[in-house]
Amino acid sequence: MQANDSSDTSGQAPELPERSGKKRAVPHISIQSQSNDQDSMVLGGPVQTGMTEWLKGTGEMSDVVMSSRARAARNLAGFPFPPAASSADRSQIMEICRRCIESLDRDSGTTIRWFDLRNSEPMDRRLLVERQLMSRQHARGRYANGQGGGDCPRGVAIIEPDERISILVNEEDHLRVQAIRSGLALEACLNEINRFDDGIEEIVDYAFHPQFGYLTACPTNVGTGLRLSVMVHLPALKMTGELEKVRNAASDMGLAVRGLYGEGSQAAGEFYQISNQVTLGRSDEMLLREIEGEIVPNIVRYEQHARAQLMTESPLVLEDKVFRSLGILRAARLLKPDEALEHLGLVRLGVVCKVIPEVTLQTVHSLLLLIQPGHLQRALGVELSQADRRVSRAKLVRERLGSQSR
């Protein structure tokens, strides 16, 4: 590998596509950048979570809504969608997008960190997935059609230090702009991605159809290309047996319900990602009004009601459950991921119900992130076997929650 500073803009940069009526500027590269010939560690040294905004446990309805996320799928006009694009096309797309992103206006005090995922370390990619900065699919570099691979040009830009924004290049679509925040804050997320989206659209032409809207690789994203999602915590509805009712109602309203760690993951701990499935024929405002204005507040009220019911009707049963989970987490020497999640979910319930005063929401949320394999390994700086991860996961949890012995 050669030293190849990607902040060097001279020479071979592909011409930016023209778009009538839009401001056109050669991106000025003023960012912290990282190409595949540099050490591609994102999070050097001990893993920190203090700055990660969506772990703070603050914001609207944060007793139930852990975080909100908005994502816009966009594609450049004149190029095939990534799964169908040639390697040369993808390289060109990536370079256009990267330079475009680097030229965007940002808040003062923030930096954009660019990751070229080609030849990046699997551990780094895993960290980015665990931090919800990119999808598992993007980390694997494979498209639904089986194309892609380690040398396929793809990248992700992250706005640091609070990691509220990330932009994926050459995932299923050319560009996916994502914003994530604590609590119920979909409108703020949407405003944030719109700002970046507008900034990008001033530079490049998007694939856009006057009737259908933004065109995307997968038909479910055509239209606004927008996905809004919230991470909710519904342990009381689980206990009162009403969870399935709420899940079914959400499905009936066209929402997808997934586990904490996204598609295919288990819902241990009663953490659920709720998101819209279809965007065609719906405006941003309509989606926002439905999800943030009606559906999520209703789910939150159901959960709050169930919690109040548990606290009134069987406070001891609730206390017993949450303290046992805290006791196990403070005592265990081996912890599997699902079990850790389950107990962290109950501890979180104890914290928000003010039954466990000595633990903060941020501690619980941080642990949800830090107990994942990538973070455990990064914290110790070595690859760990599954058995070793159980040991270090238990140790980390004991330390963070204040174990009594050893």
Q: Which residues bind a copy of itself (CB under 8 A)?
A: 316-317, 319-320, 323-324, 326-334, 356, 358, 391, 394, 402, 404-405
What does the alpha-carbon distance between residue 84 and residue 154 come to, in Å, rounded to a whole number? 14
Contact call for residues 329 and 347 (beta carbons, < 8 A):
yes
In order, the DSSP letters of 143-156 are -TTS-B-TTS--EE
Which residue lies nearer to a copy of itself by CB, 10 or 404? 404
CB 328 → a copy of itself: shortest distance, Å? Answer: 5
Burial of 405 (0-12, 13-18, 19+ CB in 10 A): exposed
Which residue lies nearer to a copy of itself by CB, 1 or 316? 316
CB 207 → a copy of itself: shortest distance, Å? Answer: 54
Which residue lies nearer to a copy of itself by CB, 83 or 269? 269
Which residue lies nearer to a copy of itself by CB, 128 or 329? 329
What does the alpha-carbon distance between residue 344 and residue 393 come to, in Å, rounded to a whole number? 12
Which residue lies nearer to a copy of itself by CB, 5 or 320? 320
Residue type, 168: L
CB 307 → a copy of itself: shortest distance, Å? Answer: 17
Element (H, E) at 252: helix 243-252
CB 405 → a copy of itself: shortest distance, Å? Answer: 6
What does the alpha-carbon distance between residue 364 and residue 373 come to, in Å, rounded to a whole number? 17
Burial of 404 (0-12, 13-18, 19+ CB in 10 A): exposed
Which residue lies nearer to a copy of itself by CB, 66 or 332? 332
CB 369 → a copy of itself: shortest distance, Å? Answer: 23
CB 323 → a copy of itself: shortest distance, Å? Answer: 4
* Residues forming a β-bridge with 209: 213
What does the alpha-carbon distance between residue 333 and residue 78 come to, in Å, rounded to a whole number? 56
Residue type, 365: H
Task: Cite the DSSP H helix spans in 275-314.
Answer: 284-288, 296-313
CB 381 → a copy of itself: shortest distance, Å? Answer: 21
Which residue lies nearer to a copy of itself by CB, 159 or 328? 328
CB 316 → a copy of itself: shortest distance, Å? Answer: 6
Task: Cite the DSSP H helix spans in 253-360.
Answer: 284-288, 296-313, 315-331, 337-352
| Tokens representing residue 359 in the block | 């633990």
Residue reference for tokens 């239209």: 223
Which residue lies nearer to a copy of itself by CB, 3 or 316? 316
Beta strands at 226-233 and 213-214: parallel, antiparallel or unpaired: unpaired
Q: Could you say which DSSP state residue 57 is in? A: -
